[in-house]
Amino acid sequence: MYAIIEVGAKQYNVKKDDIIEVEKQTAAEGETITLDKVLLFTKDKDIHVGRPYLKDIRVEAEVLEHFKGPKIISFKYRRRKSSHWKKGHRQQLTRIKIKQIKVG
C-alpha cells in the first residue's frame, strides 16, 4: 500500500514508516500533521486516482525535526570589470515520518 502526496508543490511517493524531507511545515517537532493532498492511492491491485485530489484518503505524519538543507552556491561571471556576483542559499526543511494512510 502506498500513496503519492503533494507537499509544497512537490510530489512524494510514500508508504507507512517512510521518512521524507519536505519544505518547512508550521507544526512543532513531535506534532502529528495530516496531509490531505493525495494524488494517487493503491492497495494490492486497487488503484485510485484523484482529479486532482482524492477526497476520502488522508496521510498522517509525525514531525521529527526542522533543519536547513545544504548550501547552494549561485555564481555568475561575465568578462567585464566588476561584472560578477555570488549568492548562497539554504532551504528550510522539515523531516517527517509517515505514520499511517487513512482510508475513509
38 in Cβ contact with 57 (< 8 Å): yes
Q: For residues 59 and 4, what is the distance between their CA atoms, to the nearest angstrom? A: 10
7-43 burial code (b ≥16 CB/10 A, e <16): beeeebebeeeeebebeebebeeeeebebebbbbbee
β-strand 84-89 against 72-77: which pairing, if any? antiparallel
The number of helix segments (H) and strand segments (E) in the chain equals 0, 10
Report the predicted TM-score, pTM, of the whole model to 2 decimal places.
0.86
What's the confidence (pLDDT) of residue 48? 96
Per-residue pLDDT of the chain (104 residues; tens, 9 = 90+): 999 999 999 999 999 999 999 999 999 999 999 999 999 999 999 999 999 999 999 999 999 999 999 999 999 999 988 899 999 999 999 999 999 999 98
Domain ranges across the chain: 2-103
pLDDT at 104: 85
Hey, which residues does 31 pair with through a beta bridge? Answer: none
Measured CA to CA in angstroms, residue 59 lies from 2, 28, 73, 89, 97 at distances of 10, 18, 35, 30, 10
